[in-house]
Structure 1
């Protein structure tokens, strides 16, 4: 006889984690396309094969997707900021990537700062509700 257990309850994600993961996943698509642009324009320094642009864009995109799943950890938020900096620095190769980095960096800042504010507010409201529940 098989024992059927109740499904495991999913962990609740905060606003900062949810918004941050959305930004990183969408940015990963743009970063991959930016790698293709670096390859197509052949803007890497002499002696570096152009296909390294594709490799760089792919690696950065995969890192963004991986970090988006780890945002429950405080260190992953810091890694997200470093990834934003790398995209802005890619603007040294293709200036349009600096603009992309600034736009997504602003969205990342909003997601992490406003999301953390919403998380604190929701925790405070939940605590107030739990305190008043006994009355």
Structure 2
């Protein structure tokens, strides 16, 4: 007779092993989550200065936050990276509402670019070192 797992722990997960996340995917998702958190403050500034009606400021801002969080989950795909660049362009476009956002966007775009370049380099180095020809996620 087999013993039941301790309370609070389910049965061991059978089937496929957990997917390894690459360095680029991890770093870029961190950048997008940081952007989502900063977008909350952008919503407050835009609403507080009366640049947009309250509903538009909060609705559009919350929509942007949700988009950033969703994109952070699909960065393992090439089209996810492209969507990340679209998010960066949207962040730059926020400068039309408040010119200070150009500075914030420049910082985040620089961070995004650096993380993409360095993360890709690390992924290639790790793939060569550990003999994983398909990359960190096991995909081509």
What are the residue-to-residue correspondences of 1:19-30 with 2, within 5 Å? Answer: 19-30=27-38
Q: Is the 8 A contact 1:25 1:64 kept in 2?
A: yes
Deviations along 1:29-74, one digit per CA (max 9) or x if unpaired, are: 1012202211111113xxxx33311111111111111111111111
What are the residue-to-residue correspondences of 1:60-75 with 2, within 5 Å? Answer: 60-75=64-79
Deviations along 1:92-113, one digit per CA (max 9) or x if unpaired, are: 1111111111111111111111
Alpha carbons of structure 1 residues 39 and 12: separation in structure 2 relative to 1, 3 Å: same
TM-score (norm 1): 0.83
Deviations along 1:73-131, one digit per CA (max 9) or x if unpaired, are: 11010110110111111011111111111111111111111101110111011129xxx
Residue 102 of structure 1 is matched in structure 2 by: 106
TM-score (norm 2): 0.80
Gaps in structure 2 of 5+ consecutive residues: 3-10, 133-140
Query: 1:51 aligns to what SS in structure 2?
Result: helix
Q: Is the 8 A contact 1:33 1:57 kept in 2?
A: no
